[in-house]
Amino acid sequence: MTDRDAPLDPASMRKQYRAEGLTEADLAATPVEQFARWFKEAAIEGRLFEPNAMVVATADAEGRPSARTVLLKHFDEQGFVFYTNYDSRKARELAENPFVSLLFPWHPMARQVIVTGVAWRTGRDETAAYFRSRPHGSQLGAWASAQSSVIADRTGLDAAYAELAARYPEGEQVPVPPNWGGFRVAPEAVEFWQGRENRLHDRLRYVAEPDGSWRVERLSP
């Protein structure tokens, strides 16, 4: 067996994380401000390829979970926004059960951020404004794909795209698909995880209080 054929054992992979930690005193007043700091550091210092890529976990009415990566497109004190197809599996699950978790896996910085909260659809005006900012090809793609449905092969997808490209040539305005739009996740809790030496990591979690303020608690690693 050559080295190339030898299986790679994940249990043999060990990385020592840096000592520099995250203290209560370091934290911003709100989790969104703290997220903005780390997001910038992930993009600039960490040079992460897509720091806005996040794992969105949903669950259906029976509590069966599912997860997938999507791109964060906007965030502010109201929440974290992503766009998708409203007939997709995630959107169907969110219609049954609006509780959601978002996870930003910023591994090269030994960091992760986990948001839990409730997802609401964005308004049609907000969706339309974002849709029009997308490249023409992505606008057509949103029409061409019945996201999450089983398809026989790729041919039908490519044919649907070609038909749309003929109907809406570059420069022509593409209408917003009625089954496409955003979700805004209003955070109820946001955890900032910083990897430390000897697996004694820092975990600081903001939890929303009924009066709109944030309580910060430290979790054992």
Ligand X SMILES: Cc1cc2nc3c(=O)[nH]c(=O)nc-3n(C[C@H](O)[C@H](O)[C@H](O)COP(=O)(O)O)c2cc1C
Q: Which residues are catalytic?
A: 199
Interface with ligand X includes 88 (CB under 6 A)? yes
Residue 71 or residue 216: which is nearer to ligand X going by CB?
71
Interface with ligand X includes 90 (CB under 6 A)? yes
**In whole angstroms, how close is the CB of 26 to ligand X at the nearest point?**
29
Sole binder of ligand X in the list 27, 28, 36, 53 (CB under 6 A): 53
Tokens describing residue 117: 């909260």
Interface with ligand X includes 69 (CB under 6 A)? yes
Residues 6+ apart with CB under 8 A from 171: 136
Q: Under DSSP, is residue 135 helix (H, G, I), strand (E, B) or coil?
A: coil
Nearest Cα to Cα of residue 22 among 216, 194, 212: 194
Residue 90 or residue 201: which is nearer to ligand X going by CB?
90
Interface with ligand X includes 84 (CB under 6 A)? yes
**In whole angstroms, how close is the CB of 187 to ligand X at the nearest point?**
19
Strands (E), the chain: 53-59, 65-71, 74-76, 79-85, 99-106, 111-121, 180-194, 202-208, 214-218
Question: Amino acid letter at 38?
Answer: W
Interface with ligand X includes 66 (CB under 6 A)? yes
Interface with ligand X includes 148 (CB under 6 A)? yes
Tokens describing residue 12: 């043999």
Is residue 97 within 8 Å of residue 65, measured between CB atoms?
no
Interface with ligand X includes 157 (CB under 6 A)? no
Nearest Cα to Cα of residue 32 among 117, 129, 149, 124: 117
Interface with ligand X includes 68 (CB under 6 A)? yes
The stretch among 80-88, 99-107, 155-163, 204-212 that binds ligand X (CB under 6 A) is 80-88
Interface with ligand X includes 70 (CB under 6 A)? yes
Site residues (vs ligand X, CB under 6 A): 50, 53, 66, 68-71, 82-85, 88-90, 147-148
